[in-house]
Amino acid sequence: MESWREILHNSINTPLELHHKLGCDINVLQDVIANFPMRINPYFFNLIEYPGDPIWKQCVPDLLELHDSVCIPDPLAEEDLSPIPNLVHKYPNRVLFLVSNQCAMYCRFCTRKRKVGTSRMHIDPASQKLAYRYLQEHPEVNDVLISGGDPLLLEDEQLDDILRNLRNIESVKLIRIGTRIPSVLPMRITERLTAIFKKYHPLYINTHFNHPRELTVEAKAACEMLANAGIPLGSQTVLLKGVNDNVETLKELMQGLLYMRVKPYYLFQSDLTYGVNHFRTTTQTGIQLMKNLYGHLSGMAIPTLALDAPGGKGKIPLTPQFIKSSDSQTLTFENYLGQLCQYPEPIEIY
């Protein structure tokens, strides 16, 4: 069997290769790639079934990325919220720690499109040391999210090192890893890697699946290895126009994730990232889609639709409205079938 490194090494990353494989316009590809990197590894490439399908849209560069007059490079103000490079401290008790600038596939809708996969993202040991010191000096931070890029493109030893350094900080209680590896290069999950992870519980992994076609035998095996290592798995899915913005696709995805032992965590409204405008859906679309999931799927299969507020103001849940009216005596609401229901409030007796 090919190793994950070999598969990654055989990625398509030049316009000429992709032109040969898919017949895309070389000039368009060149223009887009000059701004945003491309990497399509053979595993993910083989999931493509037809031009413009939900897998294709996620990985094949599109001229629309350069025709974005609405969005901005860093809508979440991550750079402003970084007290030291690659450490985003937005919420009082948790930080985002970016440890890798590479991914196994560059998503065309990436929220960190401004730097992921380019020389604009520097990861160096010196700033990592500063990050550990910062965490030591900020004991209010008890939850560290390791992200990137994709942290799982680091070597096993590097990950071991990062996890050990974080675990040595007493105030850090929870460690989370954000990775798209289970959906884009599941062979990267090995027994050797999970043996390392096991040493650092409580460790959570939030992965990222966007379409039921990503739920392959290989992805299932990867998730099973992680779950068997005692790691609770979540999915942070992005709601994407033309990829998963319909009820049937979302139902199949969320249920399929549960069957693979992955709990749907967030469904993100697309950020206002420059180059991503063509993937955005309206907030009403998202809220209406969620309304069609509640009750029709187990609560276990339902993610929180969330919008990451521009300017780094935090994630806001976008929740469909079931409550029709409320007074001191009665709550009136509709159920998942649209039937009107009532719940009498408790009456205080003295």
Residues that bind ligand SF4 (CB under 6 A): 103, 106-107, 110, 112, 116, 148-150, 180
CB 88, min distance to ligand PLP, A: 4
Q: What does 254 interact with, of ligand SF4, ligand PLP, none (CB < 5 to 8 A by kind)?
A: none
Q: Is 94 in the site for ligand PLP (CB under 6 A)?
A: yes
Count, residues near ligand PLP per rule CB under 6 A: 7
Question: How far apart (Å, rounded) are the C-alpha atoms in residues 245 and 97?
Answer: 30
Q: Identify which of residues 149 and 212 has a Cβ nearer to ligand SF4 in the complex.
A: 149
Burial of 140 (0-12, 13-18, 19+ CB in 10 A): exposed
Question: What part of residues 292-321 is at the interface with ligand PLP (CB under 6 A)?
Answer: 315
From the list ligand SF4, ligand PLP, none, partner contacted by residue 149 (C-beta under 5 to 8 A by kind): ligand SF4
Residues 51-90 as x/- pattern, contact with ligand PLP by CB under 6 A: -------------------------------------x-x
Q: Which residue spans within 106-250 are E strands per DSSP?
A: 143-147, 174-178, 203-207, 233-238
Q: CB nearer to ligand PLP: give 110 or 145.
A: 145
User: Looking at residue 284, what DSSP letter applies?
Assistant: H
Q: How far apart are CA 291 and CA 285, in angstroms?
A: 10
Amino acid at 161: D
Q: Are 264 and 303 in contact (CB under 8 A)?
A: yes
What is the DSSP secondary-structure string of 148-215?
Answer: SS-GGGS-HHHHHHHHHHHHTSTT--EEEEE--HHHH-GGG--HHHHHHHGGG-SEEEEE---SGGG-
Assign 235 to helix, strand or coil: strand
| Token duo for residue 137 | 């000096």
Residue among 116 and 154 whose Cβ is closer to ligand SF4: 116
- Could you say which of ligand SF4, ligand PLP, none residue 94 binds, taking C-beta under 5 to 8 angstroms by partner kind? ligand PLP
Q: Which member of 31, 42, 77, 91 binds ligand PLP (CB under 6 A)?
A: 91
Query: E strand or H helix at 94, and its extent?
Result: strand 94-98
Distance in angstroms (rounded) separating the CA atoms of residues 257 and 50: 24
Nearest to ligand SF4 of 206, 291 (CB atom): 206
CB of 293 to ligand SF4, least distance (A): 23
CB of 208 to ligand SF4, least distance (A): 6
Min dist. Cβ of residue 236 to ligand PLP (A): 8
- Given the rule CB under 6 A, which residues bind ligand PLP? 88, 90-91, 94, 96, 145, 315
